Amino acid sequence: MEVTIEKLDHYGRGITRINDKICFVDNALPTEIVEIKNLEEKKKYFQAETEKIIKPSINRITPICPFAKECGGCQLLHMDFASENKWKEQKIKEIMKKFANISENKIQNIIAESPYNYRNKITLHQQKNKVGLYKNKTNEIVEITECALIDKKLNSLINNIKTKDETIILRIGNKTDEIAISTDKKKIITSYIGDKKYRVSLQSFFQINSKITEKIYEAIKETLKTKEAQNVLDLYCGTGTIGIYVSDVVKKVLGIESYKEAIEDAKENKKMNQVNNITFKLGKVENLTQEITKIYDTVIIDPPRSGLDKKVVDKLLEIIPKNILYVSCDPITLARDLNLLQKKYEIEYIRPYNMFPRTYHVECLCLLKLR
């Protein structure tokens, strides 16, 4: 069957209609006419794969990755990078309008860097001497010899992995090129963001795109300077990265994080950078709401994909800090939380960052100002 693709959905799949029912088509771009295969009917939609491209889009490119078809980890390798960035901007506009009634003019232009070799970490899987990535939504291994997204130095290691472990994590430090392999004894590396140095344990969260991370942290620091922030809360602080980055321009920071190893890293990072005005607390933010008090004029939040617990939103609306900076890797939960925070806050801007090129994911930084 031949279909014409109207637009992309938020996961980068082509959208068409069959008998008035929506159909999602993998590996298809807007305006394209494609022949589809493996058509499956679900309750509310159809899904299908592209068999053959009859009329390609002018934005179509040949994927640079030889494993693209099987792996499925990158949903946009067949689209040129400029179109990807435009689509991500548009996606943020649509989500913010739909779930939080935020007008388009609040969404700034996307900030992007290199489309490939930007990742400082990869998690590989091993089954019966096959090393690779999981095929999309399965536990089936796609053997790979390289990945287009990861740092070139990590790529050179993939073919020499000698371990029986089922999960293998490779991580490289920004500007230090120190490498940690989960089978090795050396599981801790140092990494720089700007002029700050961070110790990162293998399992602790650390942003995977160092160049974009530096841009986000720099924007946060500039905002804190402009807003003359004094007492700052850094919620979901991981290894203390943001709080330490901005510590030079504020009076005091408290970081809260639930992962024990990350808090240990954070304390070490404080020492390494000779920062004296930051403290850390271990625990879930939603269980430590008594720490979220009126002494804080500025709150930085960088939660996992699930966004904020309702208790945390309520607490913020109670202590009403002057400014909230929200870093998010999931626009849907960001929109949900902004919708609640808008009760007392005005959105100054939402700025998308292409932290995850060639995939459908996008990071946002949002500044909220007390009305």
By C-beta, is 116 or 259 nearer to ligand SAM?
Answer: 259
Q: What DSSP string describes 86-120? A: HHHHHHHHHHHHHHH---GGGBPPPB---SSS-BS
Contact 349, 338 (CB under 8 A): no
Nearest Cα to 197, choosing from 178, 171, 170, 223?
178
67 binding ligand SAM? (CB under 6 A): no
Distance of closest approach, residue 273 Cβ to ligand SAM, in angstroms: 15
By C-beta, is 78 or 171 nearer to ligand SAM?
Answer: 171
By C-beta, is 284 or 344 nearer to ligand SAM?
Answer: 284
Q: Choose, by CB under 6 A, the member of 262, 347, 355, 362 that binds ligand SAM.
A: 262
Q: What DSSP string describes 126-160? A: EETTEEEEE-TTSS-EEE-S--TTB-HHHHHHHTT
Distance CA 261, CA 187 (A): 12
By C-beta, is 47 or 258 nearer to ligand SAM?
Answer: 258
Nearest Cα to 365, choosing from 300, 269, 275?
300
Distance of closest approach, residue 63 Cβ to ligand SAM, in angstroms: 28
- Side chain identity, residue 29: L
Q: Choose, by CB under 6 A, the member of 92, 168, 242, 362 that binds ligand SAM.
A: 242
What pairing do the DSSP bridges indicate for beta strands 2-4 and 33-41?
antiparallel
Q: Which residue is nearest to ligand SAM (CB)?
A: 238
What would the x/- binding string for ligand SAM be over residues 100 to 129, using CB under 6 A?
------------------------------
76 binding ligand SAM? (CB under 6 A): no
User: In a 10 Å sphere around its CB, with 0-12 CB exposed, 13-18 middle and 19+ buried, how is residue 335 labelled?
Assistant: buried
Distance CA 250, CA 153 (A): 37
By C-beta, is 70 or 286 nearer to ligand SAM?
Answer: 286
Contact segment (CB under 6 A) with ligand SAM among 65-73, 153-161, 179-187, 253-261 equals 253-261
What would the x/- binding string for ligand SAM be over residues 295 to 334, using CB under 6 A?
-------xxx------------------------------
Distance of closest approach, residue 328 Cβ to ligand SAM, in angstroms: 8
What would the x/- binding string for ligand SAM be over residues 204 to 223, using CB under 6 A?
-xxx----------------
What would the x/- binding string for ligand SAM be over residues 175 to 204, using CB under 6 A?
------------------------------
Tally Cβ neighbours within 10 Å of residue 169: 16
Distance CA 367, CA 325 (A): 5
Q: Choose, by CB under 6 A, the member of 72, 173, 238, 321 that binds ligand SAM.
A: 238
99 binding ligand SAM? (CB under 6 A): no
- Secondary-structure breakdown of the chain: helix, strand, coil percentages, each rounded to the nearest 5: 25, 35, 40
User: Phi/psi zone of residue 28: left (φ > 0), alpha (ψ -120 to 50 degrees), beta?
Assistant: beta
Contact segment (CB under 6 A) with ligand SAM among 27-35, 159-167, 251-259, 290-298 equals 251-259
The count of chain residues that interact with ligand SAM, using the rule CB under 6 A, is 19
Contact 300, 220 (CB under 8 A): yes
285 binding ligand SAM? (CB under 6 A): yes
284 binding ligand SAM? (CB under 6 A): yes
Distance of closest approach, residue 46 Cβ to ligand SAM, in angstroms: 34
What pairing do the DSSP bridges indicate for beta strands 179-181 and 188-193?
unpaired
Distance of closest approach, residue 241 Cβ to ligand SAM, in angstroms: 4
Exposure string over 198-217, b if 16+ CB within 10 A, otherwise e: bbbbbebbbbbbbebbbbbb
Catalytic residues: 329
Q: Choose, by CB under 6 A, the member of 45, 116, 192, 259 that binds ligand SAM.
A: 259
Binding region for ligand SAM (CB under 6 A)? 205-207, 236-238, 241-242, 256-259, 262, 284-286, 302-304
